[in-house]
Chains A and B, each alone.
Chain A
Amino acid sequence: MQALVIAAHGSHLNPDASDPTYAHADTVRETGAFDEVREAFWKEEPHFREVIRTLESEEVFVVPLFISEGYFTEQVIPRELRLEDWNPDKWDSDGTAASTVTLEATDVDKTVHYCGPVGTHDAMTDVIVQRAETVTEDSDVGAGFGLAVVGHGTERNENSAKAIEYHTERIREQGRFDEVEALFMDEEPEVDDVTDFFEAEDVVVVPLFIADGYHTQEDIPEDMGLTDDYRLGWDVPAEVDGHRIWYAGAVGTEGLMADVLLERAVDAGADVGDALEAVRNEVSLRDGGTSDSTSGPTTEAGD
């Protein structure tokens, strides 16, 4: 038997923070690729601390639903899962290369394949592009368009910027969009000045965040000048300084994220049959041309 555990942040204050986690877990559940699929949280229940013991499977694949490597993936999650022999060196990563390490959980008799976060997986590049397709309702979007990938910045975690830059570079290499830029909330180049960085009239802005919340639904739209007051909402696209800004909201709400979760588990040795294909098909059918950037707030900052 094999189980998938999706390890996410969750929130004590906002129920919507866990919505993407549940949605992607359900997509994976429906493929039947795992005997058990379980959501686990830092701020909700089941807590990381208790999740492994709720499983019957001997092989457990843990995939962090986080954007970057850092405090949560390297300290909090392995510690709370009681992965005793864990050491970040085992991932041998430069900040975006973590893949998988196999460990024993000491309070339960199980083998845990601890995977790198979804945010740094190569498949995440496709999710960002898919997000651009979703928000423009154009499956060929690219020519004549600029794409901005937006991250928090280096304030707390230097790897956070690395993840943004990594995908930006990969999309740039595809040559699909006229221009591709990495922008940040808290450091240069700043998302406030988004229009300064693009010549293209149309610019898709995709924030690399797991759930929609304060940053993606309040801060960024106001900073970019999409709206004076986030409570009034904004247009997609919105006119800013002679550009049309297609603001996509958090990439983590994109249905294709379930595919990245599966990819992580497959890289770690999970046998998922044809689930990858099933998810890609199902997600493209379900999400085909619909925009979903209206859900509410997310995790508290600072923890």
Chain B
Amino acid sequence: MASPELHRFTLPNGLRVVLAPDASAPVVGVSVHYDVGFRSEPEGRTGFAHLFEHLMFQGSESLEKLAHFRHVQSSGGTFNGSTHPDYTDYYQLLPSAALERALFLEADRMRAPKLTEENLRNQIDVVKEEIRLNVLNRPYGGFPWILLPPVLFKTFANAHNGYGDFVDLESATVDDCAEFFDTYYSPSNAVLTVAGDLDVEATKALVEKHFGDVPARPKPERPSFAEPAPQGEVRHEHGDALAPLPAIAIGYRVPDPVTDIDGYLAYLVLAGVLTDGDSSRLQQRLVHREGIVIDLNAGCGLFGPLEARDPDTFSITAIHTPEVDASQVVAAIDEELQKLAQEPPSVEELAKVTARWASTMHKEHDRLTNRTLGLGSAELLFGRAELIYELPERIASVTVDEVSAAAKALRPDARALLLVKPTGGTQ
């Protein structure tokens, strides 16, 4: 597949810019990725990166509270933001006539957001509702993305809850926000991506016009979050009063996607061989043949593949029937991994995974929001936006022996095992 053209440049203030023209529909995607996520939160400030993401929508020097939403939506656009372990993104999808407006909105809050006590208190309440909705009031809330890291990792940076706990959220101050902004939200710590119906030269001029005078600030030094893999199997049992059935999550470590992307991709293919589709190994055995598992997934990264730097996670999750002990499910998974370690998968098994990934990537790129975000995060994390166009081919070049080796590396003596036990008493 031909890679669409990419244009990149860096403004004098350090802002990296990626332009990806595509005139197939009169719409344009704009995103800003900041190189800070919840791994960078200090102790006692869990959930702060995400809370801060909310505050960035609450007004800036040129825009009163609520104006951001109204200007995007009255241009016919949609918007959102999200917080990940290693980055926070902001994005808009709009009819292309609104491109300059979108750039203006992003630049204004990069230059001078309004951080006020009133907005902070309001958004702490909103975030608490978000946590009640997605975690506290919901069966399997936070499974596995909040629950597995504290079992697999030991350092605060890697192990803590990225949504935050209420006590930490409530004690956040406006001055904490100011410090966080000045440290991490500098143009030199961000990537701006524009994809879709755009003229390269005109867009470059608009980017310079709106972002050119955002004052330069130093790029913060990013500490290493590296830590060793668990020495042995680490187990944790989590009681869930709302869950009707038990669940397990097994977490392993994967190779560093920055320094060993192809090694990492072998695990992506392995995940497909194990759980993608009715003909995958674990679906066939656990769901269809033995009927002990209701729902099953495997994959790289708790937010999806290539969404974080090292250290990252390979996880297998299953919701299983109460008649079956978790150890039976784990033993079957170990057995299948062992088989793959001893005898590589067939060429056809890999061909299935490769073809499904090719179409997955096409579908992602056809949705302009996803393409814009994919380009932006690949540029930020790996310095290579084009990676997203190369993935189908790189995935196709993973060999059966590499998949076998990946299976062999998922050892019972270097993993985290999270057991979710229903404690509600009734089914």
Q: Report whether chain A binds chain B.
A: no
Measured CB to CB, the residues of B under 8 A from A are none
